[in-house]
Amino acid sequence: MPEEFTRRQGVVTAATQDKIKEFVNAGGTVVYIGDVTMAAAQAFNLPVTNHLEGLGQDKFYVPGSVLRMTVDPNDPVAHGMNKEMDVFFDNDPVFKLGADAAAKGVRPVGWFATDDPLRSGWAVGQEKLKGSTGVLDIDVGKGKLFVMGPEVTQRAQSYGTFKFLFNGILASNAERSSMR
């Protein structure tokens, strides 16, 4: 990206990330969407890794397609959603949870349960998504992180997935005890 446009990109610096961590630990809520999610996982030292790490485009490539994801509608960030839904996916991050994820407050909310999630578009290696997680609900200190790899705010596709964003915003104002 040309240097003159990087300031418009929403780049999170180390100093900014420290302030975000302080905010969340004190009880704030932050929603991460898309490419910044892996940086958030690293910054908060979460027990998650990139499920597709090391795969080249010849092994995995899903550019701008609609995929079916399984959802836990009992999680506050998925309130009002069905158990399956379509999400827009553009080579987005997906997560592999560590063995200690649940103990560290990391809950999967949306995941790819089949080896053929493609609903519209095209995909190379779509079967590699099986078992990966796309949406996470994470307790951090007194606060909350909602981490969403797929493009849940992508134009018209958002009609079905905007609930992830809006529920995350609403959850930021909810009493923690009423969320679980």
Task: Tell me which of 68-77, 109-118, 138-147, 170-179 is least confident.
Answer: 170-179
Segment 18-23 long-range contacts (CB within 8 Å, at least 24 positions apart)? 21/140, 23/143
| Predicted local distance difference test score (pLDDT) of residue 102 | 95
Q: Where are the beta strands (DSSP E) in the chain?
A: 29-33, 48-50, 65-71, 84-89, 95-97, 106-111, 118-120, 133-140, 143-148
| Predicted local distance difference test score (pLDDT) of residue 153 | 85
The confidence band for 5, taking pLDDT boundaries of 50, 70 and 90, is: low
Percent of the chain with pLDDT over 70: 87
Beta bridge partners of 108: 136
pLDDT in tens, 65-78: 999 999 999 999 99
Q: List the end-to-end C-alpha distance of the chain, in Å, as a whole number.
A: 42
Do residues 135 and 77 touch, judged by C-beta distance below 8 A?
A: yes
Please name the residues in contact with 97: beta carbons below 8 A apart, sequence gap of 6 or more.
47, 48, 106, 108, 133
| Predicted local distance difference test score (pLDDT) of residue 174 | 64
| Predicted local distance difference test score (pLDDT) of residue 17 | 84
Which residue matches tokens 């915003």?
A: 169
pLDDT in tens, 142-151: 999 999 999 8
* 153-177: average pLDDT: 75
More confident residue, 96 or 7: 96
Whether 158 has a pLDDT exceeding 70, the answer reads no
More confident residue, 172 or 20: 20
CA dist., res. 79 & res. 116, Å (int): 25
Q: How many Cα atoms are found within 13 Å in the side-chain-facing hemisphere of 56? A: 1
Concatenated DSSP letters for 118-162? EEES--BSGGGGTT-EEEEEEEETTEEEEEE-S-TT-GGGHHHHH
Q: What is the pTM of this model?
A: 0.87
| Predicted local distance difference test score (pLDDT) of residue 162 | 84
Query: Which residue type does 117 have?
Result: P
* 32-49: average pLDDT: 89
- R_g of the chain, CA atoms, integer Å: 16
The confidence band for 177, taking pLDDT boundaries of 50, 70 and 90, is: very low
